[in-house]
Structure 1
Amino acid sequence: MHRFCGIIDRSASAAPSIADSAVVRAALGATSVANSLATASFAALATAKRARSIEALHIADDLIVVADARIDGQADLRAALADLAPPADAPAAALIAAAWRRWGADCPLFLYGDYAFVLHDRDSGTSFAARDHVGARPFFYALTGDRLAFASDPAALLALPGVPDDLDEDFIASILIHRKFQPMGRSFQRAVRRLEPGHRLFLVGGDARLDRWWNPEKIAVDDRADDAATIARYRQFVEQAVTDRLAGATRFAVHLSGGLDSSLIAAVATPELRARGLADPPGYSWHIVDPDADPDSEPGWSEAIRARLGLQLYAPTLSTDEMAALFTQDWTRGPDIRNLLHEAAIQRDAAARDVEVILSGWGGDEAASYNGRGYHPWLFATGRWVTLYRDAGRPGVRAGLRTIYHAARRTVRTFRPQLPLRWRPFAGHSLADPAFVRRARLLPMKVTREFGVRRTQHTLLRYSATTGRLEDWAISGATRGIDYRFPLLDRRLLEFIYSLPPRMFRRGAMRRWLIKEASDGLLPDVVRLNNSKTEPLRVAWIDKALGETMVLIGDRILASDTPPARARYIDMDRLRKRVEHARRTHSGRDPALRLALQFLDTP
């Protein structure tokens, strides 16, 4: 589900027709399909498409589109396409083809939804690829000369003929040294690239060009935005985003952590599903389920929204053997298991319940439920101390002065120097072999400076772990037939959010002001007004489980007669000591050890 792979061989473009020339060879499905691409003709693949009812291909005399896509706002899109609009029951790939014919390389600007696609236009000789604004659909590619290979995950791409799998040592060093390093356009393989979110790739003649089509930082801020109108529009955008993501499936589940984001999504989706005569979505939490828990606790928050909506709540967990199996997966060819330590159990349970789609609130913190980070440091650093004083949220001189003091501290923290990446292994922050680090060229890492609301929002959305988790959940979910959808990352909603002034995100002591006001009447106040992001119960469970698993995996590696092939990148003596420390402390709070173990090729 939602996997595609293919090859565009542009050297064959002089052939008389696409259907006869195999200019494009493409397939949708499991990785094994890729093995047939070297010999299968394009006509044969087109026949297979019809026989299997695969909707990710659009074929015409002059154009082919291969897509993993869900397109929103189709009524408006069809109106803009006018006479080029395909039939109402046409697949997403046909809409993308029509958009290309209408707007050319600017077509992503008019396509709302989650998508990754590749097309080849024989008339112009142009090949073109694009990925949605946040990267909800993964896209990996390898470009060598006139040949573009592409896939939804690195394993599928590396299974295609002619894609080399030699490792990129600069990438390895960078990701082992900094646990928050974001890969951006790189991957573990030197030849494999990620098409970054909001980017497009042009292949014209012998030239390849990559640029960014989504630039939300250029959206103008409306400083005169009215509170009541803003709240009403926010709710409309959220309701539309949720409704659009209910298309094309009948079996849904929801994340239900007890936080604002997942709770709002569930509160909007559940009555709509009932109105359509569909089953209630099971709710999934990452912490224990306890109906009798303290209302002001993780299970208490989840129970409050569960009871409000009348849903069933589940919190499946991985056994030690299941978690160990995650560590033995080849990280260089698949997801980062840090994003699966909780979610893999949910995927297993959801698949057993025949769930097709999981609606998630992930990504809300970066924009739709933004808490105003960066606002107070900006006020302090720019001399707006009176405004800062008045934003204390409590009356009195003491409250105002404390607000100024804490803003000053955050400003200093924001701009304090970072420990250079190359020093981190020597400070114990990484188990990468020092000799390997010395010869590697470390890749640049974007440092998030929480200074100013707009700047912080853009930096978090583009350079934080948001896309990494979307990508990993999409890849792992596809193996179980599960599609993830993220209403709070809807582009229409995000572009509205970016037009708002800072006061919409923080009012005095109330952070996340806009989503809290918009959720009034939808969520219980214990959830709606909660400011805490701490999760002691979840952290305690994962700490214990990780500690046991890392000792198990470490012992297995160290007991092997033959060291792992990738041991040349790791300081194995220090790894042995860290495994012994984890055994003594029964703790998994060692990110350096965790990264090293999941990178090593475990026997």
Structure 2
Amino acid sequence: MCGIAGLYHLQTAKPVEKARVRAMTEMIAHRGPDGSGVWTAPGVGLGHRRLSIIDLAGGTQPMASADGQAMLSYNGEVYNYRAVRAELEALGRAFRTSSDSEVIVEAWRQWGPDCLSRLNGMFAFAIHDRERGCLFLARDRLGVKPLFYAELSDGSVAFGSELKALLAHPLLRRSPDFSAVDDYLGLGYVPDDSSIVAGVNKLPAGHYLLLRRGAPLPRPVQWWDVSFADRARGGRAALEEELVGLMRAAVTDRMVSDVPLGAFLSGGVDSSAVVALMAEASRQAVKTCSIGFDHPDFDETRYAAAIAERFATDHRSRVVSADDHGLVDTLVAAFDEPFADASALPTYRVAELARETVTVALSGDGADEAFAGYRRLTFFQAEERVRGLLPLGFRRNLFGTLGRLYPKLDRAPQMLRAKSTLEGLGRSSEEAYALAVGVTGPALRRRLYTDRAVRDLQGHRAEDRYIAAMRAAPARDALDRAQYADLKIWLPGDILTKVDRTSMAVGLEAREPLLDYRLVEFAARLPVRMRVRGTTGKWLLKQAMRRYLPDDILFRRKMGFVTPISAWFRGPLADEARRIAKASSLVETGWFDPAALDGIVAEHQAGRFDHGRLLWQLMMLDRSLGRLFGAGR
């Protein structure tokens, strides 16, 4: 795992100063503490920070192709590099190292952009090809590895693994984009088609960018997509065997490493499945680690310990305080853009614990998106059966009215909190799911905004990208469309961003075997009843894993990493909440109504409403705006 950065002049081959590229890479030194390199030529500069994983002696970057025509800077791992290398050697390509980096640059020289379809891995890379006269930027299928880019006033394009690499360039104008603020409040993160800094772009997952001198900045080209339009044939037993075979291959592929390797183990279905398959493939005890909390309502360590005992892993566990909010500024610095998923706190802690003994850790991320494991998806599927019985106009009048009349009962038992369900039944499938997957809805956001903010938005709404993605999805039914949108928006924007930034902040490489594209494509072809049955998501995966895992792991209620943020803003962060409404960067923007902010804080601290997630969002946004744009901007 590494960090990359660079510059490319689109119009003329102006000299690129090594010091400027080096300054960009220094901003992401945490991604690659083991080494650095800078290469420049007329009109181009590539920089690299290395975290040594494979071929510790020979994988130095930027790396030239054997013929000297191409130069590579690369972040990630290609798990099938040995097979691709063998294919290239059969075609006459020679190799000087044992690294996957060299395989990528030689694959580019052999096949050009078509090389991407041959690579199975997580990656973001830049290749300058002198003979072809271009700079090639590419990102992996699911967006595991990030890549930011922006066109600067001198005609150059700056790019890097994190936003902070671009911020190191003095010509990047720092101006906030309020549509990205609305995206962040609506979704809890700034999605990949948006950026908090105006003019900055993120290369979308499964896309590449081919830059040529003398041509304008092009639009990204999609090189991979997942389709839910086809259905797998075969009975349950055959599909189970195929699934286990794909999972086994994905895990063993990701166990290739020249440095110590382990796994995150929460005791949930997905991490336990990964550890089970690692133990099956390993001659030595698998190194596992988990984080527990000093509050029983949030602690899962007993489940992790049971799995560790079952597979005789070398297990380490650490208990942290449920009031572990001291990491806020660390997270703000790691993410650059505002990020409101509070599970980033324990994710950082478990990455920190893993890094004490390993350099690579496998995680269970991705299965909930691919196999429909989230409760919101099972609820959506149940609601969809009702929506299918009645026309939208009738539902809008009946359930819409009931939803408006039903009280908002934040503190009531879940069975009595029916307001969102009634409102969802009165909407289209796409609108209902877009709101269900969000954090702060349009009405509450509008309450916070000034008239100026509403004008600046010009009708932009965070949820509309979900609606558009679902309507354009290559899919058969509503569950397909919801999962497709999650894979395209939620997965890269929230889950993978969280894991990448927290693991890279401590110099740890995280690998996600359950996001092997072959597994994702297999899951997309499964009939709906093989994904969701009743209130059980990931149905086929859970059935397939019964040969490895006990039912009390497979079928217990999903917890995930939970943090008590609502209590924090009535306790240790009460003063922080009050400051948001009085003297924060939010007020200085002119986009937020101070009286509305003050009302939100008062309602929460008086216990009339639970605004804990919103206050966490506002606090993280305040800190990020202050860090990115400074006071008075």
Superposed pair shares fold, TM > 0.5: yes
CA spacing shift, 1:47–1:550, aligned 2, 3 Å: closer
Structure 1 residues 534 and 92: alpha-carbon distance in aligned structure 2, compared to 1, 3 A threshold: closer
1:358 equivalent to 2:377? Answer no
Which residue pairs with 1:31 in the alignment? 27
CA distance in 1, matches of 2:599, 2:385: 47
Deviation of 1:492 (Å):
1.7
Q: What is the match of residue 320 of structure 2?
A: 316
Listed as ranges, the matches of 1:402-551 within 5 Å are: 415=429, 427=444, 431-441=448-458, 442=460, 445-447=464-466, 451-507=477-533, 511-530=537-556, 532-533=557-558, 539=562, 541-545=564-568, 547-551=570-574
1:105 maps to a residue whose letter is P
CA 1:320–1:268: 2 relative to 1, 3 Å:
closer
Q: Is it true that 1:591 corresponds to 2:603 in the alignment?
A: no
Alpha-carbon distance change, 211 to 377 in structure 1, aligned in 2, over 3 angstroms: farther
Do 1:550 and 1:597's aligned partners in 2 also have CA atoms closer than 8 Å? Answer: no
Residues 250 and 93 (structure 1 numbering): CA distance in 2 closer, same or farther, change over 3 Å?
closer
Deviates more, 1:589-598 or 1:60-69: 589-598
Within 5 Å, give how 1:254-333 maps onto structure 2. 254-273=263-282, 275=283, 277=284, 280-285=286-291, 287=293, 298=300, 301-310=303-312, 311-317=315-321, 319-320=323-324, 322-326=326-330, 329=333, 332-333=336-337
Are residues 1:91 and 2:99 paired? yes
Q: What's the CA shift for 1:483?
A: 1.4
Task: Specify the code of the residue in structure 2 equivalent to 1:349.
Answer: L
* More displaced 10-residue stretch of structure 1: 195-204 or 458-467: 458-467
Structure 1 298/182 Cα, relative in aligned 2: closer, same or farther at 3 Å? same
Give the equivalent residue in structure 1 for 2:120: 112
Query: Would you say the 8 A contact 1:203–1:209 is kept in 2?
Result: no
Q: How far off its partner does 1:135 sit? A: 1.1
For 1:585 and 1:115, the matched residues in 2 are separated by 46
Cα–Cα, structure 1 residues 309 and 245, in superposed 2: closer, same or farther, change >3 Å?
same
Preserved CA contact (<8 Å) 1:369 1:515 = no
Q: How far did 1:452 drift?
A: 3.4
AA aligned to 2:368 is D
SS in 2 for 1:116: strand
TM-score w.r.t. structure 1 length?
0.78
Per-residue deviation, 1:225: 2.2
Query: What residue in structure 1 maps to residue 183 of structure 2?
Result: 174
1:213-228 aligned within 5 A: 213-217=223-227, 220-222=230-232, 224-228=233-237
Any conservation in 1 of the 2:334–2:502 contact (CA below 8 Å)? no
The 3 A distance-change label for structure 1 pair 539 and 323 is same
Name the count of aligned residue pairs.
558
Quick one: structure 1 residues 128 and 215, their matched pair in 2 at CA, closer, same or farther if it must change by over 3 Å? Answer: same
Please state how far the C-alpha of 1:439 moved relative to its aligned partner. Answer: 2.8
Q: Kindly provide the amino acid, as one letter, of the partner of residue 266 in structure 1.
A: V
Given that 2:207 and 2:220 are in contact with CA atoms closer than 8 Å, whether structure 1 keeps it comes out as yes
**CA 1:432 to 1:272, structure 2 compared with 1: closer, same or farther past 3 Å?**
farther
Q: 1: CA distance between counterparts of 2:541 and 2:206?
A: 25
Aligned pair partner of 1:150 in 121, 138, 159: 159
Mean alpha-carbon deviation: is it higher for 442-451 or for 153-162?
442-451
Q: 1:245 to 1:432 in 2, by over 3 A?
A: farther
Residues 55-99 of structure 1, C-alpha deviation per residue, up to 9 Å, x if partnerless? 342224321121102001223323443325553844333222222
Where do 5+ consecutive residues of structure 2 fail to align? 31-35, 390-420, 472-476
1:8 alignment counterpart:
8
Q: CA offset at residue 159 of structure 1?
A: 0.7
- CA distance in 1 between counterparts of 2:48 and 2:337 reads 30
Residue identity in the other structure for 2:452? A
Superposed displacement of residue 327, structure 1: 7.3
Is 1:338 paired with 2:360? no
SS of the aligned residue for 2:502 comes to helix
Secondary structure of the 2:5 match is: strand
1:334-393 alpha-carbon deviations (Å, 9 max, x no partner): 755635232122233333x2432232112211114657846666677778xxxxxxxxxx
- Equivalent position to 1:210, from 196, 220, 227: 220
Describe the shift of the 1:540–1:413 C-alpha distance in structure 2 as closer, same or farther (beyond 3 A): farther
Mark the CA change 1:284 to 1:107 in structure 2 (over 3 Å): closer, same or farther: same
> Any idea what SS the aligned residue of 2:121 has?
strand
Q: Give the residue type in structure 1 aligned to 2:104.
A: I
1:466-522 CA-partner distances (Å, limit 9, x unpaired): 542212321232221111111111112112222333332245675422112221221
1:125 deviation in Å? 1.5
Residue 260 of structure 1 deviates from its aligned partner by: 1.1
Q: Is the 8 A contact 2:189 2:494 kept in 1?
A: no
C-alpha separation in 2, matches of 1:53 and 1:125: 27
- Give distance in 1, aligned partners of 2:603 and 2:517: 46
Between 512-521 and 585-594, report the one with greater CA deviation.
585-594
Contact 2:184-2:338 at 8 Å conserved across structures: no
Change (3 A) 1:546 1:539: farther
Distance in 1, Cα, partners of 2:226 & 2:161: 25
Write the distance in 1 (CA, Å) between the matches of 2:494 and 2:330: 17
The worse-fitting range, judged by mean Cα deviation, of 426-435 and 467-476 is 426-435
Distance 1:267 1:586 in 2: 46
Which of 565, 576, 598 aligns to 1:553? It is 576
SS of alignment partner, residue 342 of structure 1: helix
Closer, same or farther: CA 596–370 of 1 in aligned 2, 3 Å:
closer
Matching residue's letter, 1:446:
R
Q: 1:554 to 1:192 in 2, by over 3 A?
A: same
1:402 alignment counterpart: none
Percent identity of equivalent pairs: 23
Letter in 2 for 1:478: M
Q: How far apart, in 1, do the equivalents of 2:72 and 2:595 lie?
A: 51
Deviation at 1:244, TM superposition (A): 1.7
Tell whether 2:622 aligns with 1:600: yes
Q: Contact (CA 8 Å) 1:249, 1:356: kept in 2 or not?
A: no
Question: For residues 128 and 595 of structure 2, what CA distance do their matches in structure 1 show?
Answer: 52
- d(CA) in 1 for partners of 2:145, 2:261: 19
Q: Is the 8 A contact 1:118 1:130 kept in 2?
A: yes
Structure 1 residue 199: deviation in Å? Answer: 1.2
- Structure 1 pair 480/181, CA: closer, same or farther in 2 (3 Å)? closer
Q: Aligned equivalents of 2:240 and 2:547: distance in 1?
A: 13
Amino acid at match of 2:279: T
Residue ranges of structure 1 left out of the alignment (5+ in a row): 384-406
Q: How far is 1:269 from its partner?
A: 1.7
CA distance, structure 2, for counterparts of residue 417 and residue 378 of structure 1: 12
1:72 aligns with one of 66, 75, 79: 79
Deviation at 1:549? 5.0
2:590 maps to 568
